[in-house]
Every structure is written in structure tokens, then in C-alpha cells.
Structure 1
């Protein structure tokens, strides 16, 4: 295979798969409540991952390592997915949700400075500022949208913020306490912990009623095999080939890809101010995430 296959097309495929998670949620949520849908997703995902763990003879961590993985799973998968799905369920467009949680590298960088005492370059500080300005522009337009337009129900911002904080703090926590655990077994522990959180939410806050329509089954199947399994396997392959940095470099493309998909599939539109804000935010994330030339 040519080098560009490993350094661009496969990382781009991973980014595309990640972007469709927002779309899959949009398709499936009319037929099931968020925690209920996510609980089913986690349980179904554990089956192929369990088979994979047996085939690959995955190594399992000790009790302490499993505890850290469980905390990471609750933050990265539980709070993140729960927040995203509830924001979409309560009326926030998939494109806007993607943009807001796409600020994860910015928030993670700030959290790393606070908790891990990491240094941030001037270039990255500029990126952080641009990200905040970009989101402010988007929210200014969407919160001020007329009834004839698709605005943002203000309470959905709480869910989007929960998702953003969950994945950002979870990333920092994993960096602080993570070990060289097998990725398959580690992912299973994280999904099991997140599934426990979703079970608590589903049995205390929801009716757990599901309409098993064809659209719901297809959406759920895609979320399980396209996202929770395939995306993880591709990530494993990329890391093994040393191309994980390319994934990080391309990750800021998720919001515009999601916005395009949401426009084509659902007719979701962003006005000029929101589009400008999105471009500014994406530029800010890129400055924080993409390494400067000449740096390792």
C-alpha cells in the first residue's frame, strides 16, 4: 500500500466513522430514550468485543487498573455519549452538538495545564482563544434564532457541556492513571462501566420503551459495529502502525463532516454567523492539536 493510504485515508476513515455517531443518534432517538438506547448499545457491543478478546487472547489488568479504566469509561463514554444523546434528543442539532464537543482538545489542553502542569505554547493559547470565539459566534446566532429557524433550546447546552467535560476530563484522567493495558480488554471494561451508568439512568429516569423499527435497528447496528467496534479496531491498527498522530491531526474535521451529513440527511442548516464561528473554532482546535512543523 502507498504511504498516503496509512497517513491519510485510514485516519480520515476513522474521523468519518466518528462523525456518524452523531447521525446514528439522530436516527435512533425517536424510537428509544437516550439512556435506554445507549444501554442496549453497550450490551450489544460487549458481545463482539468479548469474542475478539478471546480470539486475540487479550491481557486483563489488575483490580487497581480496572478501577481506573472504569472511571475513564464513565467519563469518556458515559458522560460523553449520555450528554450528546440527551442534547440531540432535547432538540440540539447534530451539527451544533458535534461542534461544541469538538472543542474537546481545547478543554483537554486547559485541564492538562491545571491538573498535569503541562506547558502550553503561545500558538496553542491563540488556538484556545479562537475556539472560544468561534463557539461564541455559533451560540450567538443559534440562541438568537427566530421560531422559524432551528435554534438551540438553552437547556440542551447543559447536556452538551456535560459531554464536553466528560470526554475532556476522561482523557486527562486516562493520561494520568492509564497503563499499557490491552486495548480490547480495556475497552470492554470502559464500556461495561458506562453501561452500568446507563442502566442506572434508564431504570430511574426513563420508561425503557423501545420501538423496534427497521430504522432503529439499522441505527443501533451502525452505532455498535460501525462506531463501538470498527472505529476502535481501526484505531488499534493505526496505533500499531504509528499513525495515531494523524488521527489527532484530522480530528478537527469531525464537526464540518457532521454538519455536512446533517444537512444532507436532515436538512439542518447553519447560518452565515454560525458557519464563520465553526470555521474559527475548527482553526483554533487545529492550532492546539496539530503539531508545529519541525516538532516531534
Structure 2
């Protein structure tokens, strides 16, 4: 197995988990859609430069259209839904639980793209969700009147699930540099007008925002999204999405180390359950590959 195939999942989980840390850094100083618009513009500039320097192949017009559609789901609607819902008061634990329903939806919809989900994998999906609930249970606050923010977070869940399945179905192979130029240009095209319409477009350029922006562009997006696309290209979408179950656990450990947030026995037990669930999903994929 190539080295990148082995290190991609744990590296992706670590990078994806830092998204919540970045959001915590930037939230007091920047409107969410405005921050995301700057982030998308930065990614387009970075990836365009890399693509031109390497003379990378550009997708066909048809594949560009598919990439733009999937990018609206995976990038624009997903990130906007999560960031705005949290800004409007939805507890981060509730948002994390909703977003982490994605592996369940992906597994249910996998037959639509020709993937079979074995019983062992279904058990892993269920265990993973149970583990996530244990990890973030003390942070949940469901039923507290979070109407629009809750709907925004549900939109984010459906957007990233639909975008992931759409991309796997219609354009599984593309150059990561030129493909991301297309996707993030599409995300910027809808996010910038939304930021202008709904927000005062406030952003205070200080050290926290600078670090958050640089990390978002160079690591979270250029690194994390590229790794996710790589895993989607070389693996089953059910197995790839199930790795996201581990993100809340890793985020909780980071928050404990960086911000002194509590990490009790229930959360630690939930991490173990989640790890077992993801193992059941991924090991099934390996067994099928060998056979």
C-alpha cells in the first residue's frame, strides 16, 4: 500500500478537527460569510498559481460543471451552514452531532452510486454515531429553541452529503489543483454576494484572524480538502465519510490541551466506541479489496 494511502486518513482527521479551533479563533473578529469569502479567494489564488506553475490539466467543460455543483455542496453551503448556525447561537456540540450524521446518510445512499454496505459496516456506522454522542453529550443543548440555526446546520449536513455523493458519482477523477480552483471559485461566487447582502462584512485583521485565515487556506482547505478528495478517489465513500466520526474526539483532545476544556471519562469511553465503529467500517473495505 502506498505511504499516502496509509497516512491520509489520520492526517485528514487531525486537519479537519482543527477547523473548530480556527472557528474559535476567528469568531470574535470576523463575520462568518465574510471570513469564508476571503478564505475561498485565497484558495483560488493559491491553487491557480500551483496549477499554472505545474501546467496541470484542466477539467473538461462538463467536468467543470460537475465540480462546481459538488463544490457548492461540499464547500459553500456546508461551511456557511455550520459557521452561521454557530454564530447565531447553536451550541458547537449540537452542530457537531448533526454534521456527524453524515456517515449514516452516506451509507444509506451508497447503493445509488453502486456501493454495497455490508452488515458489519452498518454496525460500524451505528457504533461510530453512538461514540460521537458520548463524546459531546455534555455539550449538547437540543430543544432550546434554536429554530433557524438548527435548520442551517441541517442544510449543511445535507449539502456536504449530497456534494460528496455527487462528486463520487459524476467526477471521481480530476487534478486536485485545477479542480479546487473550479470548486472554490463556485463557492466564492455564491458566498461573496451572500456576505454583502446579509452581513456588514466586518473583519478585524489581527493576529488571531491572520493565523486562522492562513491555517484555513494553507492547511484546512489546501491540505484537508485535497486529502478528502484523494481518499474519495481511492476508496469507498462510506469508509471515507466514516472517518469523520473521529473528528469530534480529536477536537475534544485539542480543546483540552489548548483551552483547558474538560475531558471526562464518558468522553474517553466515547472515543473508544467511535474508534471501534470506524475500524469495523474500514476493515470491511480492506477485506473486500483482498477478496
Is the TM value for this pair above 0.5? yes
Query: How far off is 1:273 after superposition?
Result: 5.6
- Point out where structure 2 has 5 or more consecutive residues left out of the alignment: none
Give the TM-score, by structure 1 length. Answer: 0.80
Aligned residue in 2 for 1:193: 186
Distance (whole Å) between structure 2 residues aligned to residue 277 and residue 72 of structure 1:
32
Aligned residue in 2 for 1:62: 60
Whether the 8 Å contact between 1:105 and 1:288 is mirrored in structure 2 is no
Query: How far off is 1:14 after superposition?
Result: 3.0
Distance (whole Å) between structure 2 residues aligned to residue 278 and residue 100 of structure 1:
17
Instruction: Choose 61-70 or 258-267, whichever is displaced more.
Output: 258-267
Whether the 8 Å contact between 1:77 and 1:191 is mirrored in structure 2 is yes
Distance (whole Å) between structure 2 residues aligned to residue 21 and residue 179 of structure 1:
25
Distance (whole Å) between structure 1 residues aligned to residue 133 and residue 9 of structure 2:
29
Could you give the per-residue CA deviations for residues 84-116 of structure 1, whole angstroms, max 9, x where no partner exists?
A: 212332344556544542342222111223x33
Aligned residue in 2 for 1:148: none
Distance (whole Å) between structure 2 residues aligned to residue 123 and residue 40 of structure 1:
43
Distance (whole Å) between structure 2 residues aligned to residue 174 and residue 211 of structure 1:
35
Instruction: Choose 269-278 or 21-30, whichever is displaced more.
Output: 269-278
Whether the 8 Å contact between 1:14 and 1:235 is mirrored in structure 2 is yes
Aligned residue in 2 for 1:221: 214
Report the secondary structure of 2:284's partner residue: coil
Aligned residue in 1 for 2:146: 154
Is 1:130 aligned to residue 122 of structure 2? no
Counterparts of 1:69-148 in structure 2, within 5 Å, are 69-92=67-90, 94=92, 97-113=95-111, 115-116=112-113, 118-134=115-131, 141-143=138-140
Distance (whole Å) between structure 1 residues aligned to residue 48 and residue 171 of structure 2:
21
Cα distance, 1:209–1:239 mapped onto 2, change above 3 Å: closer
Query: How far off is 1:277 after superposition?
Result: 5.4
Distance (whole Å) between structure 2 residues aligned to residue 144 and residue 17 of structure 1:
26
Give the TM-score, by structure 2 length. Answer: 0.81
Q: Which of 7, 17, 20 lines up with 2:18 in the alignment? A: 20
Whether the 8 Å contact between 2:131 and 2:274 is mirrored in structure 1 is yes
Distance (whole Å) between structure 1 residues aligned to residue 218 and residue 5 of structure 2:
23
Report the secondary structure of 1:30's partner residue: coil
Distance (whole Å) between structure 2 residues aligned to residue 70 and residue 18 of structure 1:
22
Distance (whole Å) between structure 1 residues aligned to residue 269 and residue 173 of structure 2:
41
Distance (whole Å) between structure 1 residues aligned to residue 125 and residue 110 of structure 2:
13
Query: How far off is 1:40 after superposition?
Result: 0.5
Report the secondary structure of 1:31's partner residue: coil
Report the secondary structure of 1:291's partner residue: helix
Query: How far off is 1:120 after superposition?
Result: 2.1
Whether the 8 Å contact between 2:41 and 2:188 is mirrored in structure 1 is yes
Whether the 8 Å contact between 1:29 and 1:37 is mirrored in structure 2 is no
Query: How far off is 1:182 after superposition?
Result: 1.9
Report the secondary structure of 2:202's partner residue: coil
Could you give the per-residue CA deviations for residues 208-254 of structure 1, whole angstroms, max 9, x where no partner exists?
A: 011112111111111111112233556688899x7999x94855432
Query: How far off is 1:272 after superposition?
Result: 5.8
Distance (whole Å) between structure 2 residues aligned to residue 130 and residue 260 of structure 1:
20
Whether the 8 Å contact between 1:83 and 1:160 is mirrored in structure 2 is yes
